[in-house]
Amino acid sequence: MSEAKRILEMLEDKKITVEEAERLLSALGESEKKEKAKKAHWFKVRVFEGNQQKPKVKIDLPLGLIKVLAKMGMKFSGKIPKSVTEKLQEKGINIDLENIDSLDIDELIKEISSYGPLHIVDIEDGENKVEVIIE
């Protein structure tokens, strides 16, 4: 049962006053707004060259688009030639998409977005810098 419904039932049962219900619903709305604001919605990549403040490469992808693309990619996973997967395995890259389903992808994107702003990777080689961010 939702929290809002529970508050309304307590009001109906006269366990709380109208003013108390209003305060509780207002606090609930603020809590939900803060929770939503914390969620990440973007996958961002930034490449900085030298000591430049402005990125030379800037990629912003909505997490929802990444979810759709991942699900589409799964549909074609059976089309990857065996010779390609073998070559990748020789290099230590194991692509086993057959054991992943769309629920796994949904859960993964939901979990990633729940962390809010997050720097996944920051790489610097002295002059250049790459940032991968979930925001």
Residues 50-93 have pLDDT tens digits of 888 899 999 999 988 888 888 787 777 677 788 888 888 888 87
Q: At 71, which helix (H) or strand (E)?
A: helix 63-75
Task: Give the phi and the psi of residue 33 in degrees, each rounded to 5.
Answer: -65, -45
Read off the pLDDT band of 48 (50, 70, 90): very high
- Confidence at residue 100, expressed as pLDDT on a 0 to 100 scale: 67
Tokens of 6: 């529970």
Q: Answer with the residue of higher pLDDT: 99 or 69.
A: 69
pTM exceeds 0.85, yes or no: no
